[in-house]
Amino acid sequence: MKITFPHIGNTYLPIKAMFDDLGVETVLPPPNTKKTLEIGTKYAPELMCLPMKINLGNYIQSIEKGADTIVVTGSCGPCRYGYFAEVEKEILKDLGYDGVEFVVLEAPEGNLQEFYHRVSKVANTRNMIKIGKSVKNAIQVLRRLDRIEENVLKSRPYEKNKGQIDLINNQLISRLERSSGSQEMIKHIDVAQQSLQQVALESNKEVLKVGIVGEIYTVIEDFANIHIGKKLNEMGVEVHKSHTTGDWILEHLCYKSIGRSREKHIRKAAQPYVTTQVGGHGRETIGNTVLYAEDGYDGIIQVMPFTCMPEIVAMSILPHVQKDKNIPILTLIIDEMTGEAGYLTRLEAYIDLLRNRREKDTNEKMLSWY
């Protein structure tokens, strides 16, 4: 058995760590590129959203490298993500890959035994202690990687020697891909974290702060959002992403399984605008936008795939949040036809607007003293 899985940010690394610990061979899908998207777009239904097309490209590239089993997470509610595995299975069968098996790890929602049963099917072991330990260690790797990315997006605009943070981060990813097992990965991550803390920063430099909200895949996967975090950092903007895979896994694997939630404050923030689940992360988009505005961020950018139903609902509500909270919101809709040049032009214009707005506010405060 050779396991593969889709790309979503750096999540493939802790998944690899988990299967390494379980003694299962993995096939890492090649990094997402235009070729990956072209493959997925060729075979996926035209109106399916960008994440599915990239995922399908991941699977086909991995199968060509020898993978015979695909592990994916499940979904629920009014979002097409829940159909991805079934649709992709039929597409691969039509392409002659009918021997490939899908293992869908549905969110436990209180049924941890079923979750571990599905992992045991892949790991070919019923040793629940071993499985539990490997899952726990993989989450440790994932949480540390989330903190690394958060640190990078926060610190990169301030670095004195441009490119130093990217060098540390790129070297870390390269070492993790060559590593075997969670403990080796954790050591590399801890060393990288110490290196990042030693990077010289211009602490007095004034930068803008922008929050990224939207559909979870396009927020986390940099290829899908055309590397929005790095582009904004290079414009002198501090960035914070509203979603991480670590938070998602902890919420669904741990907290909801015991009847609790760490996202109540997000739902509460969204309450004046949306009172029910609208699928995907539509309600979270509204709630996080409100929280970013209340935390003093200069602007919010919503990123979403074309035809994403939950985010279309959120997009229709965001103008009301923008008016009530007095914060500029930019929506970027992305599909396989999105051109990077036009995308970059919109970002630059938006950042200019935010700078002019901050300068105007500063001048008004200065004049108010007279």
Cβ–Cβ < 8 Å for 294, 64: no
DSSP-assigned beta bridge partners for residue 332? 303
Q: Output the pLDDT for position 246.
A: 85
Distance CA 63, CA 30 (A): 11
Distance CA 277, CA 32 (A): 31
Alpha-carbon Rg for the chain in angstroms: 21
Q: In the β-sheet with 69-73, what is the strand arrangement from edge to edge?
A: 25-26, 2-4, 69-73, 101-105
The phi and psi torsions of 24 (rounded to 5 degrees) equal: -105, 135
For the chain, the average pLDDT equals 89
Least confident of 172-186, 250-264, 271-285, 337-351: 250-264
Q: Output the pLDDT for position 78.
A: 62
**pLDDT band, very low/low/confident/very high, at 194 (cuts 50, 70, 90):** very high
Distance CA 8, CA 65 (A): 19
Q: Output the pLDDT for position 352.
A: 96
Q: What is the mean pLDDT of residues 144-150?
A: 95
SS (H, E, C) 64-102: CCCCCEEEEECCCCCCHHHHHHHHHHHHHHHCCCCCCEE
Which single residue is written with the structure tokens 């060393």? Answer: 191
User: How many other C-beta atoms are found inside a 10 Å radius of the C-beta of residue 185?
Assistant: 27
Q: Output the pLDDT for position 329.
A: 97
Q: What is the mean pLDDT of residues 341-357?
A: 95
Q: Output the pLDDT for position 254.
A: 63
Burial category of 145 from C-beta neighbours within 10 Å (exposed 0-12, middle 13-18, buried 19 and up): buried
Q: Output the pLDDT for position 109.
A: 58
Torsion sign over Cα 213, 209, 347, 157 = negative
DSSP-assigned beta bridge partners for residue 210? 239, 299
Q: What is the mean pLDDT of residues 58-83?
A: 83
DSSP-assigned beta bridge partners for residue 299? 210
Q: Output the pLDDT for position 363.
A: 67
Helix segments in 156-220, DSSP class H: 164-178, 182-197, 216-220
Share of the chain above pLDDT 70, in %: 90
Cβ–Cβ < 8 Å for 36, 159: no
Cβ–Cβ < 8 Å for 173, 10: yes
Which of 34, 26, 29 minimizes the C-alpha distance to 8? 29
Q: Output the pLDDT for position 299.
A: 97
49: left (phi over 0), alpha (psi -120 to 50) or beta: beta
